[in-house]
Amino acid sequence: MSDLKSAGAAADDLPAPAEGLVLTHFLTVSDVPRSRAFYADVLGGRVVLDENPCIVKVANSWIIMNPGGGPTDDKPDVVLRTPEDPNTVSSFLNVRVADIHDFYATASAKGAEFLTPPIDRRAELRCYMRDPDGYLIEVGQATGMLKGILARTGTET
């Protein structure tokens, strides 16, 4: 039996396009089972592979997770580690939902920690949460942008 089949994953479950490309998001995590549970339970993902790497299919995308580590031959000067300062961010996962208030209530009940409740930014309703390693996740629902209304820039009164 192949490693894939023994792991319980079907080829269709994996981010392996027959042509073109798909985008996935890789996270360096400190505790694979804890992060796997977060992305499966809070975001409603389906675990495709448990580990090495852990892959959770969430909606039409995949979150790939592995512990940190030192350089490898294909990235000889790169060290992977979880965020050192959760308040300094260079990228984040962006999740779009149909009903942000329902998502907020459901995710909160499952233990998700949000920075604020959803806030009306004119173009969208938006809030942010963190995963167990402190990664920032934006959760948004398109509202005004569907009518050509742009977001507040923060300089507007």
Q: What are phi and psi of 66, to 5 degrees?
A: -150, 160
- Residues whose CB is less than 8 angstroms from the CB of residue 53 and which lie 6 or more positions away in sequence, other chains included: 26, 64, 65, 66
* Residue 44 or residue 156, greater confidence: 44
Taking only the tens place, the pLDDT of each residue in 49-84 is 999 999 999 999 999 999 999 999 999 999 999 999
**Residue whose structure tokens are 């909160």:** 108
Kindly report the average pLDDT of the chain as a whole number: 91
pLDDT band at 89 (very low <50, low <70, confident <90, very high): very high
Span 120-139, pLDDT tens digits: 999 999 999 999 999 999 99
Residue 154 pLDDT: 65
Strand residue runs (E) in 61-155: 61-66, 93-96, 113-114, 119-120, 124-130, 136-142
β-strands 136-142, 93-96: how paired?
Answer: parallel
pTM of the model: 0.86
